[in-house]
Amino acid sequence: MTIHRLQNPPRGLRIDGMSGAAQQRVPFASTVISREAQQAAQRVLASGWVTTGRETAQFEQEFATYVQARHAVAVSSCTAAIELALRALGLPPQSRVLVPTLTFCGAAEAIIHAGLRPALVDVDPRTGMPSPATVALAARTCGQPAAMIVLHFAGAPAPLAELAEAAGLPLSRVVEDAAHALGTFVDDRRVGALSGATCFSFYATKNLPVGEGGMVTTDDEKIAAWIHRARLHGMSADAWRRNTPDGDWEYTVEEAGLKANMTDVQAAIGRAQLHHLYGWQRRREAIAAQYDDALRQVPGLLLPARPAQGRHAWHLYVVRVQDEFEMSRDELIKRLAERRIGTSVHFIPLHHMEYFQHATITPPGGLPGADELFPQLLSLPMHPGLGEESVDRVCAELTRLAPARRAPASHPVRPGLSGRPERHTGLRTLVAGAGEAGQALARDLLGAPGFGLVPVGFVDDDPAKRGTAGLPVLGSLDDTAQVTLAHRVEEVVVAIPGLSPERFRQVTRAAEVSGAGVRYLPSFIAALRRDVVGSDMRSLDVQRLIGRTEIHVVSPEARSIIAGKRVLVTGAGGSIGSELCRQVRGFEPSRLFLLDHDESNLHRLQLELYGDALRDDDIVISDIRDRARIDQVFGELRPQVVFHAAAHKHLPLLERHPCEGVKSNVLGTENLIRAALATEAERFILISTDKAADPVSVLGATKRLAELTVQANAGSPTKLAAVRFGNVLGSRGSLLSVLAEQLASGGPVTVTHRDVERFFMTVEEAVGLVLEAGRMAASGEVFVLDMGDPVKIVDIVHRFARSLNMPDPQIRFTSLRQGEKLKETLFSEQEDCTRTSHPRIFAASQASCPALAQLRQRLPDLYAAAEHNDPAGTRQVLAGLLPSFPSSPATAPRALTEPYPDGF
């Protein structure tokens, strides 16, 4: 096991004809210990309290929030978690507990240590997990079970409800072994609160590596309380609480427990690591997709199934080495080891081990599924620090060792309409219409994974079409909202060319209310069948471009702040504002007011939203810098929810014209906030940028002052908040649109610096963040989406060209411009990143801010300098308000001769 710091992940080397001995080792597993985790451990060690204490209690609370469970109890290991969970059920001694034979030996030992009897369950060779049939057989032949352990093998979702029904048990008697499953979803619910108790592992190689440790989560208060006592000798009071000012030295022991507590050192590491979990999970998904693409045609390798329902956590990537490979699994392990590639086997079946042959109950007839599967199992390298080059090298060696013929491999996944295996790496897509157009669309999507849409089924009003498609018909058009929620649909494509406008609006509204995006024929199918270039940005595979999958941020609960309310969107005609209007409209506001100073964009947007442009009462032509006009608009319309997207945001232009940036981004924001407070609006959400964190550009400085204006007015009846965006892919003037133009022209691609890197998000993610921020807003928070790791621009260029099947482009480096950073950050050095109720959204918190105290006093000076069109004076005042901002330009601004993407 290799241990790496987060900032220096292991990277493989390309093969390039080198001998195996000369190649860098590709470890099977690698522990990532983040810098924050190291600092957290040092903090606890310096405190002098290193056993169970406040850090443990805080970790429990944060982990319960993450997995959406009511209770979490931190323990010493997942094995201890399973034993404690079983003992908490209060089962009679020697009761039978079903457990898969393909599992870690500690699970069976936990049953035995709890005074119970393991009854082995066979597995389905296709999944490595028990099926309802094998569970029912074990329950029938081994004696009625009192409980069951369900393992989410490798991180794949196990069908909990079906297995419990087959065992004749309620879910309250099911204990989940989730050692592999942090981040797994069963259907649309996160593993953590689906059964009686769920047991997680934080071993050094797990998805959340802490070193040692485990966690039990449950919704049952009695189970949580019992485990809380039993983990520390059964004592009724935690030792650390007895040392608090109001603590009591007295305790009692009513039932024998274990010494199985977690220490504060472990908990502090776990809390810090939890912040990185989302990015690590997205990296695991990307590695799995890379393996899928490269190994799909290797004969004799059977790849792991993608779950039809739910989400795979990809703790392990387990292949089956079949006879067609013409080499045994053990021989293949040896050959890969000679090439310095680490692998492993998960697991040796329990009934193959001498002790368990006597200590467990085996169904008559044995366990043939596990016997068939075990000699084929092989786990490939899988950890977040695994670079693309290392994955390529593993795949190249497997391909080279495979037999020469290249017959298509068989895959244990459901085929799509085209007969190809269906993959679940893109957005889950529902096709409205199961006729010829819908089925043609589904076939094209299945054949073009680069578009990033994965069909999961249809909705259609014609009963005759039910069951005629390779994908299921999941309901009628009237069922769109329910189907979208039940199947975690992220995108709906309307594929009924003759659908009436009113019916079309009903379907799109139902999809949007459920949090899904909407596309429609014929324009979408036309885009699908031509090369992706220019404006077809949202058809790209985001995962391949930025190294993570697109996040479905917005929740159905966001509807509660919009439904029946008067909503105003500023900058409505822009790319962000217009997408925001589309999604807001789906939540059925009583009125949706579109405010912009560009009447052409407003007219276009109204046509898109309503099919006509006669709704003049909902269009507001106004400049946010005109305070009297803004006061008039708010006084007449009295919006209850305001989303503020209007801004000047072109970084190099604002360096040349700082006064205009102040007028729009600072004064305009203050005008809107004043009007919102005066008319008692319920919510006000500002759209900001990551460049506001320790700003060095006019764009960043003016947006930071806009954030401070929001915070200065916190505590009023109006709930205010801000959101920081990264670079938004697909927005007008964004990186991809400029790259598409440059690639289409055949000229070199211009990039400022070879090491420049940025955080990226899609338009849909950006709008989802705004809507969720509206729901969570309370007192001037600044919310930030977890966008994973920053990405180098040069990597985006190369990946984008490959996605268009174009040769690697020539890149010309133009050097950083005034106001640009080499690397962006999401939080300033004075800010802390804190968790919110949403697992993928964080908040920037700051104990004190001198600029906030000076804000009202100094803003008039800033406005005066801007009003007099005094760039130097404007910069001087900005520097006085924001210490990180330079009072004078580092270099003289150059002519903008190159195409320059907005915010790049």
Residues tagged active-site? 691
Cα→Cα distances 22→340, 387, 399, 673, 712, Å:
9, 18, 20, 63, 60
Could you give the 3-state DSSP secondary structure of residue 87? helix
- Distance separating alpha carbons of residues 284 and 277, to the nearest angstrom: 11
Rounded to a whole number of angstroms, the distance between the first and last alpha carbons of the chain is 39
Query: 729 — phi, psi (to 5°)?
Result: -70, 135
Are 378 and 319 in contact, with CB atoms under 8 Å apart? yes
Q: Dihedral (C-alpha) 400, 403, 406, 407: value to the nearest 10 degrees?
A: -140
Query: 406 — phi, psi (to 5°)?
Result: -125, 60
Alpha-carbon Rg for the chain in angstroms: 29
Q: Across-strand partners of 218?
A: 71
> What is the DSSP track for 707-767?
HHHHHHTTTSSSEEEEEEE-EEETSTT-HHHHHHHHHHHTSPEEES-TT-EE-EEEHHHHH
Cα→Cα distances 149→144, 177, 193, 358, 794, Å:
14, 7, 15, 20, 48
Query: 574 — phi, psi (to 5°)?
Result: -80, 175
Are 143 and 128 in contact, with CB atoms under 8 Å apart? no
Are 788 and 384 in contact, with CB atoms under 8 Å apart? no
Cα→Cα distances 59→56, 730, 784, 835, Å:
5, 38, 21, 12
Helices then strands, counting H and E runs in the chain, come out as 30, 33
CA angle 634, 636, 642 (to 5 degrees): 30
The count of C-alpha atoms lying within 13 angstroms of the C-alpha of 752, restricted to the half-sphere facing its C-beta, is 21
Strands 566-570 and 147-151: unpaired
- Distance separating alpha carbons of residues 403 and 399, to the nearest angstrom: 8
| H helical segments located in 374-424 | 388-401
Are 754 and 790 in contact, with CB atoms under 8 Å apart? no
- Whether the CA torsion 560, 563, 567, 572 is positive or negative: it is positive
Number of residues in the chain: 904
Number of Cβ within 10 Å of residue 90's Cβ equals 10
Are 700 and 654 in contact, with CB atoms under 8 Å apart? no
Are 72 and 64 in contact, with CB atoms under 8 Å apart? yes
- Whether the CA torsion 4, 551, 59, 235 is positive or negative: it is negative
CA angle 688, 691, 695 (to 5 degrees): 115
- Distance separating alpha carbons of residues 740 and 844, to the nearest angstrom: 35
Cα→Cα distances 319→66, 157, 167, 723, Å:
30, 17, 29, 42
